[in-house]
Amino acid sequence: MRKHSRRFQEILQKVDCSKLYKPIDAINILKDLSSVKFIETIEAHIALGLDPKYADQQLRSTVVLPKGTGKKLRIAVITKDEITVQSFNNEADIVYSENLIQEIKDGRLDFDKLIATPDVMPLVAKLGKVLGPRGLMPSPKAGTVTTNLYDAVNQFRLGKLEYRVDRSGIVHVPFGKLNFSSLDLMSNLSALYNSIDKNRPSGSKGKYCKSVYLSTTMGPSVLIDHLMIKNNVI
């Protein structure tokens, strides 16, 4: 049986696990309960009526969070276009050039997002065993395989993120930091929920969204009334 710390047990006493909270109330509660010495991330855990083993029930897409993620990404770019490579020299947090492929083979993984142009994907595909388990493999669906590198980089900096359903039919997505205002977090949560709703797979039958829990890095999970998000009720 999993044991919780005294701090966590005290926090659990302040949350009604049987209650369906308003989304904004849940956000405020999680903000109030935070007692650690770092800024926690807040996540949404959305259980969907999907069975990902079927091709028409898989969900993978992207969303741009209007208030950003609160995290500065280190973005790697791979392209054969030397002009583009040279023009990225002023971008201090971007790793670039086709040479990065060999560096990744040698163990370099000091980046959070990898963006590639289509012409280098046959070479990048060989790194599947390294990049795949870490969620770094470029994909057209994720917007990380593109010829428009500038727009892709800027969108991820502004708050674009990828989400996908796991084997149990749940989407786990961080949507901000607890030092964001409650309304900003609500805006991000709404954008995420609406994106998942909009991208409902064709094979989805019956009830699509089963439940939505919000949680923080070191905090409890709180069940929310997700229909209030769908109906734009704060």
pLDDT tens, position by position, 176-219: 999 999 999 999 999 999 999 999 999 998 899 999 999 999 88
Which tokens go with 98?
């086709």
Nearest CA to 30 out of 185, 211, 231, 192 is that of 185
For residues 115-137, one letter each, b for 16 or more C-beta atoms within 10 angstroms of the residue's C-beta and e for the rest, the string is: bbbeebbeebeebeeebeeeebb
The domain 18-69+161-230 having CATH identifier 3.30.190.20: the answer here is: yes
Ranges of each domain in the chain: 18-69+161-230, 75-157
Strand order in the sheet with 94-96: 94-96, 75-78, 113-116
Q: What is the CATH number of domain 75-157?
A: 3.40.50.790
**Which residues on neighbouring strands pair with residue 209, listed in sequence order?**
48
Per the confidence metrics, is the pTM higher than 0.95?
Answer: no
H/E run at residue 124: helix 121-124
Please enumerate, as own/partner, the contacts of 197-200 that have beta carbons within 8 Å and a separation of 24 or more: 197/230, 199/59, 199/61, 200/59
Q: Which helix (H) or strand (E) holds 61?
A: strand 60-64
User: Average pLDDT, stretch 91-96?
Assistant: 65
The 10s digit of each residue's pLDDT in 17-68 is: 778 999 999 999 999 888 888 999 999 999 999 999 999 999 999 999 999 9
Q: What is the pLDDT of residue 100?
A: 87
Q: 179 φ, ψ to 5°?
A: -85, 0
